[in-house]
Structure 1
Amino acid sequence: MSHFEAFPEQSELIVRSSGPQSTSIRFFDWSRTDESEVVFAVEAVSDDLRACIDTVTVSVWDGAGDLSEFLDALARDFHGWEGERVWLNNHLILAATFGSGGHVHLTWTLRSGIFPESWRCSLTTTFEAGEEMATFAVDARGFLHQGQTEDLPQH
């Protein structure tokens, strides 16, 4: 299982996995470049590694769409789905699968670039479908859309 911590006053969101190997994904250093683009840093930490991307840029003009909308869709589909769903950015990839027992497995891949010589780091977190995934989606939306209080669902 995973859990997350939202620290709105620090503009930080942490996703932690429990189990034999402690892993976490941390979103921090959020800023808005204009009304249609935000930038933030992402750090992946495990017992034996640490990887960080200082600048992940997400724009409404990206073909990938809004990460918060992707997470909202996963939360709405708590009955499950077949195959893998992917949200793609130049430096961050999120792949979601629905597993047995009603669990959503999120594989976070940080990459230094899109070229073959670029490094990659992947970690997986697991959420219960339904309320746990929905609460995470709301907190992720709060992090990604700071300062935009309209249309934010409450949990």
Structure 2
Amino acid sequence: MTSSDGAIDDKPDVTMRSMDNAAVGVRLSETQPFDEGCVQYVVEAWAPGLTARIDEVVAWIWDADLAAFISELAADFQGWEGERTWKTYDGDLAVSAVFRSGGSIGLTWTLRPWPDVAGGWTASVTTWLEAGEQMSSLAADIQHFFAEESQ
């Protein structure tokens, strides 16, 4: 699930691929300080016929953060009804989660840069992960991804 190209100077990244189709995935990378109380990072999503990237997603420490959202999903590995959602304060990245019988979680990653600008674009991919170990591993990886920049 996590990946790095192994270069010594590289910052951590998190890559997840759908267990149903390895050609579908999402990558979080290139964290950097943006302002006091926030970090900026890159989100890439891909699927057959689609490649999308947002270069400047901002995570604010006072905002409900992605790491906490994914950790809560991992803790509820026995499932839930309906859809759970999270988004950045600016609305340029949103994640929705559903639980399906058989113990897997679908995470739909929606990239929407400049959501208030006319003529903008939106792209979504869904990664399916095993509700137990894969989600727990993803939660730990995302926590580590954001923690590296705060040090």
Q: Which runs of 5+ in 2 are unaligned?
A: none
For 1:4-153, list aligned pairs within 5 A: 4-7=1-4, 9-19=10-20, 22-34=23-35, 36-62=37-63, 65-89=64-88, 90-115=91-116, 117-147=119-149
Which of 6-15 and 112-121 deviates more? Answer: 6-15
Q: CA deviation at 1:36?
A: 2.1
- TM-score, normalisation: structure 2: 0.86
Q: What is the distance in 2 between the residues matched to 1:49 and 1:147?
A: 29
- Percent of residue pairs identical: 38
Q: CA deviation at 1:43?
A: 0.8
Q: What is the distance in 2 between the residues matched to 1:38 and 1:18?
A: 29
Contact 2:18–2:129 under 8 Å retained in 1: no
SS in 1 for 2:102: coil
Q: Which runs of 5+ in 1 are unaligned?
A: 150-155
Matched letter for residue 142 of structure 2: A
Number of aligned positions between the proteins: 144
RMSD, aligned α-carbons: 2.0
- TM-score, normalisation: structure 1: 0.83
Which of 84-93 and 30-39 deviates more? Answer: 30-39
Q: What is the distance in 2 between the residues matched to 1:42 and 1:58?
A: 12
Q: CA deviation at 1:34?
A: 4.6
Relative contact order: is structure 1 or structure 2 higher (C-alpha 8 Å, sep ≥ 6)? 2
Which string of whole-angstrom CA distances, capped at 9 and with x for unpartnered residues, describes residues 55-113 of structure 1?
Answer: 00010233xx0110000000101111111110112211000011110111000000122
Q: CA deviation at 1:45?
A: 1.5
- Structure in which a larger fraction of residues adopt strand: 1
Q: What is the distance in 1 between the residues matched to 2:93 and 2:99?
A: 20
Matched letter for residue 58 of structure 2: T
SS in 1 for 2:72: helix
